[in-house]
A and B are shown apart, each in its own frame.
Chain A
Amino acid sequence: MSALLSVENLTRRFGGLVAVNAVTLDLRLGEVHAVIGTNGAGKSTLINMLSGEIDASSGRIALAGEDITTRAQSHRARAGIGRSYQRTTIFAEFTARENCRLAAQAANPRPWAIWQRAQDCAASNAAAEEALGAAGLRVESDRVAGTLSHGAKRQLEVAMCLATRPRVLLLDEPLAGMGAEETERMLALLTQLKATHAILLVEHDMDAVFRIADRITVMVNGAVIATGDPAAIRGNPDVRQAYLGEEH
């Protein structure tokens, strides 16, 4: 199967520091591709470059064959790259439904149609309901987002991402701070989503990563030291030394 999102030699320098060094990887439909590494390994910078938040210093990003390296973040989002944030970035003062509807509105903007109520946009509402349903938030959809439990907020974060109907999901530590039960629910959601999405997962919870990932890329100091299926990574001596060895 061909890659939906492919990354070649992506590099980012901050002054003299090379945060991401010539990373090459690809994301495929039906696959969860996990990126692991210690703090400061460049994982977040990588996600930020893929989503367009920061520019790449060099290298190339292609979405379904189209070069999007220099495209603006909003353009990439509309082209099908959705992302969630490590720190929850929901709109705390709106309801869960409103959060999703607003995210979905990006695909149906029509800002000049000021005579229409935002809430009356059928396409956005449908996308929002679908995303809420998929994320298991339907019963809580009328609650103000700021009052949701931590786990529900993380689910909402993903739901907002889904509401934009992306093809590629870039998830930055979706399991951070979750309890066991909430983790299970999120992993079930990801398993269900991977059928229709190409997923990049950055996560610190190693048990979860090795359970759910189809492929794993290991980064150290901004560079990729290994890529492969979970079993291969587990057995890779470099990885054991550089990363797992230190932790276990």
Chain B
Amino acid sequence: MKNISATMRHWLPLACALALAALGPWMSPYLADFVVKVMILSIFALSLELLVGMTGLVSLGHAAFYGIGAYATVLGAGRDGGSIAWLLPLAMGSAAAYALVVGALSLRTRGVYFIMVTLAFAQMAFFVFHDTPFGGGSDGIYMYVRPTLGAIDMESRWVQFYGVLGALVGTYGLLALIRRSRLGAALAGIRVNEQRMRAAGFAVYGYKLAAFVIAGALAGLAGFLVASRDGVVNPELMAWHNSGEVLLMIILGGLGHLRGAVIGAVAFTLLKEVLSTHALVGPLADQWQLTLGLAIIAFVALLPKGLIGVAARLSPAANGAAPKLDAVPAPNAKVTP
């Protein structure tokens, strides 16, 4: 029984991806578009999960890397477009480079400081693109020709759909690998007890910085995809409420699980849709900010372990498995400064 559920857990994500791939052609353009949007957000959320869920670093500035990835794509493409072969590395590389700088500085702090410092540095990136003309200023900038690679052209709806799906599977797979690897084990150790890891001989700062940079690069990937899909970028991509929302997604799904990030991205997008749809909630839809705010408070207060936590409570079978490195409760983020 235990084995079956364990196997299922292993292969379920891949099965979902295959099902999505198979269903693609039957989706209406709007639905396909919606799915692409949620998949990009899932990649973004997964990248933050590496930081918050796996390493215990609560970053409130993750949108900066998303935005930088998107801007790098558009600026790199210029007026005549460019190849995915170098635009994608450019986007991920730029995001990773900024993550290296921000990480190097902000990881000198911890706990509540870290939260504030990451937020402030994200705001700084926001101002760079908002205030200087090279990224088109506050209105943003157009990408006139979407990236291509041989016959693969992001202009096509289907390339977008399957490209993003592939990127999601790749990101998920990469993070799953990291989780079971020595890097993942070390990050898990750092999350639980950083002091002990240092005493054992781990260069903790380096590990955290590595996680920060990888997370930044993956957020840059999500940024590349969103820029390729929309064909236009603007500084709002880096606004701090985007950092807040992606943080919400991973806690909504369930912290400490990769699938939690994906579930959270889906659930949060649907929640916002539902709360602002007149047909479903009537005149309350005009006050979606209020209902969303209350929903967030209620959710975090009542279900701190997210939707996965609810599922686990409902099915005792899932609880039977011995806790392992990768089945972890919320991180011990409370550090007294």
Chain A residues contacting B204 (CB-CB under 8 Å) are: 74
Query: How near does chain A come to B272, taking the closest CB pair, in angstroms?
Result: 33
Q: Is B199 an interface residue (CB 8 A)?
A: yes
Q: Are B196 and A114 in contact (CB under 8 A)?
A: no
Given the known A-B contacts A78-B201, A93-B323, A106-B201, are A112 and B183 also in contact in the complex, defined by CB atoms under 8 Å? yes
Within 8 A of A (CB), among B198-222: 198-204, 207, 210
Residue of A nearest to B210 (CB): A111
Within 8 A of B (CB), among A139-163: 142, 144, 160-161, 163
B177-203 vs A: 1/0 string, CB under 8 Å? 110111111100100110111111111
Contact bitstring A103-115, B, C-beta under 8 A = 1, else 0? 1011111111111
Q: Which residues of B contact A78 (CB under 8 A)?
A: 201
Task: State whether the Cβ of B271 lies closer than 8 Å to any Cβ in chain A.
Answer: no
Contact B193 A74 (CB under 8 A): no
Contact B323 A109 (CB under 8 A): no
In the complex, which residues of chain A have a beta carbon less than 8 angstroms from the beta carbon of B199? 51, 53, 73, 77, 82-83, 85, 89, 161
The A contact surface, by secondary structure, is: loop
| Chain A, 73-130, CB within 8 A of any chain B CB | 73-75, 77-78, 82-83, 85, 89-95, 98, 101-103, 105-119, 121
Bitwise interface map of B from 114 to 157 toward A, beta carbon under 8 Å scored 1, else 0: 00000000000000000000000000000000000000000000
A163–B186 alpha-carbon span in the complex (Å): 15
A residues within 8 A CB of B198? 53, 73-74, 77
- Are A111 and B201 in contact, CB atoms less than 8 angstroms apart? no
In the complex, which residues of chain A have a beta carbon less than 8 angstroms from the beta carbon of B328? 93
| Nearest chain B residue, comparing its CB with the CB of A83 | B199
A contact residues around B195 at 8 Å (CB): 53, 85, 89
Instruction: Say yes or no: is A72 at the interface (Cβ < 8 Å to chain B).
Output: yes
Chain A nearest CB, measured from B201 CB (Å): 3
Interface assignment of B81: CB less than 8 Å from any CB of chain A: no
Q: Contact: B202 with A74, CB < 8 Å?
A: yes
Distance of A92 Cα from B323 Cα, bound (Å): 10
Give Cα A70 to B323, complex, Å. 39
Is A217 in contact with chain B by the CB < 8 A criterion?
Answer: no
Chain B's nearest CB lies how many Å from the CB of A159?
12
Contacts of A106 in B (CB 8 A): 197, 200-202
B183 neighbours in A (Cβ, 8 Å): 111-114
Query: 8 other contacts beyond A77-B200, A101-B185, A118-B185, with CB at 8 A cut-off?
Result: A73-B198, A74-B202, A85-B199, A93-B329, A98-B324, A119-B180, A142-B322, A160-B200
Q: Can you list 29 A-B contacts with CB-CB less than 8 angstroms, sorted by A residue number?
A: A51-B199, A72-B203, A74-B201, A74-B202, A78-B201, A85-B195, A89-B193, A89-B195, A89-B199, A92-B192, A93-B192, A93-B329, A94-B325, A95-B322, A102-B186, A103-B200, A105-B185, A106-B197, A106-B200, A108-B182, A111-B181, A113-B181, A113-B182, A114-B174, A116-B181, A117-B180, A119-B180, A163-B200, A164-B201
Q: Which 4 A-B pairs have the closest CB atoms?
A: A77-B201, A106-B201, A118-B185, A114-B181
Q: Which residues of B contact A (CB under 8 A)?
A: 174, 177-178, 180-186, 189, 192-193, 195-204, 207, 210, 322-325, 328-329
